[in-house]
Chains A and B, each alone.
Chain A
Amino acid sequence: MTAFIIRRLLWTIPVLLLVILLTFVLMRQIEGNPFRRTSRAVSPAVQQNLERKFNLDEPWYVQYALYVKGVFTFDLGPSLVTRDRTVNDIIKEHFPKSLELGLLAFVWAIALGIPMGVVAALRQNTAYDYTLMFISNVGYAVPSFLVATLLIYYVSLKAGLLPTNGWEGWKYKILPSFALGLLPMAYFARLVRGSMLETLQQDYVRTAKAKGLRRRRIVMVHVLRNSLIPAVTAMAPLLGFIITGTFVIEIIFSIPGIGRYFVTAISSRDYSVVMGITVLTSVIIILANLVVDILYGILDPRTRDART
């Protein structure tokens, strides 16, 4: 097990370097250096100083090495547009809000999605099952911006129950996190239902039944535990969905999170911020994959050899 974890950890380093390189190369292709605007007359000396400050006078591989060093020492450099702030400042200010939004969305998804899947599986092919699976199919298909807009329209504007936008108290957090959590909820519901049905067919469940265990105990101890393993592995890809979702949800609810900032940074050509945020989200995903793989190795020892 230790060897498995070490191998997996070591493998993460080249992947991180590659993803940073990919982002770095992509970012260099964008036309329009913020310091080379023709409208702003800058003396050659100032231009040179600016380039030196942002290491733009170095060859690309030196810039890349400096950037990698920055990532590993948690210093993503200065913002190109907001003079007195670094990318770290911006991330520190906006990221916690996105993180909270994402975590709350996961809470909705787990709290509703897993019970939905369990009920649907235990009452397979009944009205419960069909209704829950219908809800989950719809939740999987409806774009989150429609859900968010409808929630604002009916809950906030018509009923006046919750605020329409902002991110101040718990009241502000209910609607956005629910709108964001709908897709992972639908995903969990389907996943848990499928894996419950599969587990219910297993020999050890039949043995437990034959032993005369009560149904509640069979479900709780033997079926549910084993059925939740796929839900654990689904966490990493769902995190990707959630990060994508925050871009849209933060804009709709005017939440000052990192996704909304990313979109403004792209239009103001604040490339160091764009790159910092992209690298940050990629690192989160890569680390989540790492954690999930290790967890999976612990939960289901059969997979250890198959995955490095």
Chain B
Amino acid sequence: MSADPREAYASGTALPDVVTGAAAPGAGAPLQQANLWRDAWRRYLQNKGAVIAGGIFVAFVLFCVIWPIVSPYDITNDPLNFSEAYETPSLQHPLGTDKLGKDMLTKLALGGRISIAIGVGATLMILLIGVVYGSIAGFAGGVLDNIQMRLLDALYGLPYLPFAIIVLAIIGENNIWTMVIALSIASWFTAARIVRGQIITLKENDYIRAAKAVGARWYRILTRHLLPNTLGVLIIAIFLELPGVILGEAFLSFIGLGISPPDASLGSMAQEGREVYRVHPYVIAIPSIAIAMLVLCANFIADGMRDALDPRTRETKEH
């Protein structure tokens, strides 16, 4: 298995069973009960890159949520002020102003809110579709599984952008919800593979056989024993899917097919900046760097979580 979770994820390789994987470190301390999540948290904290990335990520989310409330500027209701357009950073405007003389810092927080909302929404949608499709394939097995998987093999890598654009044209309205639908419609293939792989690995465990032996029905095995144990994988998957969705939203907005004004995401801010990049390059740079930062942090968090929830890959990495 590849050492990099992104490649393993993209190729649809399931992670080894998190439960048995995490039980190993507890073996040295027989008196203390091993707790998967506590151990994972401890291991996560040992990974400096992931801790820093997590800190920046949380800080940026908090900034986006809180800053527009406490900011002295009100982007939607303040009067336009063209005499203050495209000001360079100053004490009043730490990131300068845009073409209407609005404070870029406050705008960045508002744009971040929308980008993160769409990103999280679409990621959850992707995982939901993935869990349903993947658990049907993994649990049913046989012909159904075969058909479902061959289909995924063939669709693997299908570019989401044309389909997202068509879906937006069908709905004819560009708000947060339609963006979520457009971005998840052709992006759930990998998530489905992961869930299916995980379910199949878990199905082989003795406790599933034991549950069957004592007469548990299939839905109880699925909901009580299988799905809860895919949680670790799904948490990692959130941070592996998030970058793609955030970038996808930015691309759509950048080519002018994103969320409708007056709402603006980070991508639509970048699009505004493109009109004036020859004179004021920072206007496109600020939202783009914010996007890059979110994506980079999400990647590092995913790395850290993978190491934390699956210690076996960590060992091979350190050789």
Chain A residues close to B by CB (< 8 Å): 11-12, 15, 18-19, 23, 26-27, 29-31, 137-138, 140-143, 145-146, 149-150, 152-153, 157, 190-191, 194-195, 197-198, 201, 230, 233-234, 236-241, 243-244, 247-248, 251-252, 262-263, 266, 274, 277-278, 281-282, 285-286, 288-289, 293, 307-308
Closest-CB distance, B149 to chain A (whole angstroms): 9
Q: Which residues of B contact A266 (CB under 8 A)?
A: 165-166, 169, 257
Report the Cα distance A238→B3, complex, angstroms: 19
**8 closest A-B pairs (Cβ-Cβ)?**
A146-B288, A15-B154, A141-B295, A237-B157, A141-B296, A240-B157, A243-B159, A142-B292
Contact A247 B255 (CB under 8 A): yes
Contact A194 B4 (CB under 8 A): yes
Q: Which residues of B contact A248 (CB under 8 A)?
A: 251, 254-255
List residues of B (32-76) whose CB comes within 8 Å of A's CBs. none
Task: Point out the residue from B4, B158, B255 that lies within 8 Å of A263, measured CB to CB.
Answer: B255
Closest-CB distance, A3 to chain B (whole angstroms): 16
Contact B281 A15 (CB under 8 A): no
Contact B159 A27 (CB under 8 A): no
Contact A262 B165 (CB under 8 A): yes
Contact A145 B154 (CB under 8 A): no
Binding site of B, secondary structure by majority: helix, strand, loop or mixed? helix
Contact A141 B157 (CB under 8 A): no
Report the Cα distance A240→B190, complex, angstroms: 13
Chain B residues close to A by CB (< 8 Å): 2-4, 6-7, 10-11, 146, 150-151, 153-163, 165-167, 169-170, 172, 243, 247-248, 250-251, 254-257, 270, 273-274, 277-278, 281, 284-285, 288-289, 291-293, 295-296, 299-300, 316, 319
Q: Which residues of B contact A153 (CB under 8 A)?
A: 277-278, 281
Q: Which residues of A contact B4 (CB under 8 A)?
A: 190-191, 194
Q: Which residues of B contact A286 (CB under 8 A)?
A: 154-155, 158
Q: Which residues of A contact B3 (CB under 8 A)?
A: 194, 197-198
With A251-B255, A263-B257, A286-B154 known as contacts, the answer to whether A143 contacts B11 (CB < 8 A) is no
Closest-CB distance, A175 to chain B (whole angstroms): 14
Interchain residue pairs with CB less than 8 A apart (18)? A12-B154, A19-B158, A29-B170, A31-B172, A141-B295, A146-B288, A153-B281, A190-B7, A198-B316, A201-B316, A236-B157, A238-B157, A240-B158, A240-B160, A248-B251, A263-B256, A266-B165, A278-B166
**A7 nearest in chain B by CB position:** B150
Q: Which residues of B contact A142 (CB under 8 A)?
A: 288, 292, 295
Contact B159 A240 (CB under 8 A): yes
Task: Point out the residue from B11, B157, B278 that lies within 8 Å of A289, measured CB to CB.
Answer: B157
Binding site of A, secondary structure by majority: helix, strand, loop or mixed? helix
Q: Which residues of B contact A12 (CB under 8 A)?
A: 154
**A142 nearest in chain B by CB position:** B292
Report the Cα distance A153→B156, complex, angstroms: 36
With A152-B277, A190-B7, A244-B161 known as contacts, the answer to whether A289 contacts B166 (CB < 8 A) is no
Other A-B pairs, 17, CB within 8 Å; known A142-B292, A145-B250, A244-B251: A31-B170, A141-B243, A142-B288, A143-B250, A143-B251, A145-B288, A146-B284, A146-B292, A149-B285, A153-B278, A190-B4, A194-B4, A243-B161, A251-B254, A266-B165, A286-B158, A308-B146
Q: Which residues of A contact B319 (CB under 8 A)?
A: 197, 201
Contact B157 A239 (CB under 8 A): yes
**B254 nearest in chain A by CB position:** A145
Q: Which residues of A contact B172 (CB under 8 A)?
A: 31
**B317 nearest in chain A by CB position:** A197
Contact A137 B299 (CB under 8 A): yes
Task: Point out the residue from A11, A26, A149, A197 that lies within 8 Å of B170, measured CB to CB.
Answer: A26
Report the Cα distance A262→B167, complex, angstroms: 14
Closest-CB distance, A32 to chain B (whole angstroms): 8
Report the Cα distance A190→B6, complex, angstroms: 9
Closest-CB distance, B249 to chain A (whole angstroms): 10
Q: Which residues of A contact B158 (CB under 8 A)?
A: 19, 240, 282, 285-286
Q: Which residues of B contact A141 (CB under 8 A)?
A: 243, 292-293, 295-296, 299
Closest-CB distance, B312 to chain A (whole angstroms): 14
With A141-B243, A194-B3, A230-B7 known as contacts, the answer to whether A288 contacts B277 (CB < 8 A) is no
Q: Which residues of A contact B10 (CB under 8 A)?
A: 234, 237
Contact B155 A15 (CB under 8 A): yes
Report the Cα distance A288→B156, complex, angstroms: 10
Q: Which residues of B contact A247 (CB under 8 A)?
A: 161, 251, 255
Report the Cα distance A218→B254, complex, angstroms: 47
Task: Point out the residue from A146, A194, A274 that lies within 8 Å of B166, measured CB to CB.
Answer: A274
Contact B157 A277 (CB under 8 A): no
Task: Point out the residue from A11, A243, A244, A277 that lies within 8 Å of B154, measured CB to CB.
Answer: A11
Contact A293 B153 (CB under 8 A): yes
Contact B162 A146 (CB under 8 A): no
Report the Cα distance A142→B250, complex, angstroms: 11
Report the Cα distance A231→B259, complex, angstroms: 36
Task: Point out the residue from B255, B281, B295 that lies within 8 Å of A140, measured CB to CB.
Answer: B295
Q: Which of B155, B159, B270, B300 has the largest count of A CB atoms less than 10 A from its CB?
A: B159
Closest-CB distance, B92 to chain A (whole angstroms): 26
Contact B270 A146 (CB under 8 A): yes
**A248 nearest in chain B by CB position:** B251
Report the Cα distance A278→B288, complex, angstroms: 28
Q: Which residues of B contact A11 (CB under 8 A)?
A: 150, 154
Closest-CB distance, A218 to chain B (whole angstroms): 17
Q: Which residues of B contact A145 (CB under 8 A)?
A: 250-251, 254, 270, 274, 284, 288
Q: Which residues of A contact B277 (CB under 8 A)?
A: 149, 152-153
Q: Which residues of A contact B300 (CB under 8 A)?
A: 137
